Amino acid sequence: ISDARLEDHDRIAFDMHDHVMGELFALGMGLQGLAATTQNPAQVERISTYVDTLDRVISTIRTTIFQLQPRRHDPAGLQTRILRITETHTEQLSHRPQLHFAGPIDRVVDDALAADILAVTREALSNCARHAHASKVTVSISLVHDFLTLEITDDGQGVGTPTRSSGLSNMRRRAEHHGGTLTVTAPAGGGTRLTWAATCAPAQPASTDNATHSVGAPTHL
């Protein structure tokens, strides 16, 4: 891709993030405020549906920003590799998993932790494809200080009582290797939520560029 094309991508991504996202956040906050002023349950439910739709739009825009930017700066970054894994499993799942990133993941996560995150993501998505029969899968990775959380949620058949637990045992071992934990729960609406947590090694000194890239981060609308 030419330098001019890359600069154009950067400009579009900047405009989307700084202007469009700001407007969408303001709209979401306004809708929530409106819902708090009405006593009509039907209207509250309708507004909540609009907020959920807005949340999905924000996630899509952030994923688009991610696809516009990182390959030039860090073609082998963790976020890029996670995106590739989800693309690989799209055909098996019959849909593309939703992605949410929060925090300076590419800058802070070292190679050893990244390798385990990728392995756990592959295993979890493979399980979803083979057993869950889910219509929606969400992969979320957040980094707060030195604590990383990988959460993979589906709306499939639920945890059940698997006869083999070698896959979960391997995931748990990988988490414990980094001072973390693994939990598997059933969300209120059904399906499965796998939460894999780990502690990052102490971060390297920050560069003079304090900008961080976040894709599909939870909007909390």
Q: What is the pTM of this model?
A: 0.57
Of 180 and 3, more confident = 180
Q: Is the pLDDT of residue 139 over 90?
A: yes
Q: How distant, in Å, are the alpha carbons of 59, 107, 150, 216 from that of 8? A: 22, 24, 32, 21
Contacts of range 63-66, beta carbons closer than 8 Å, 24 or more positions apart: 63/99, 63/215, 63/216, 64/16, 65/13, 65/16, 65/17, 65/215, 66/99, 66/101, 66/213, 66/215, 66/216
Which of the four pLDDT bands, split at 50, 70 and 90, describes residue 128? confident
Q: 4-39 pLDDT, tens per residue?
A: 655 665 556 656 655 676 777 778 778 888 888 888
**Average pLDDT for 129-158:** 86
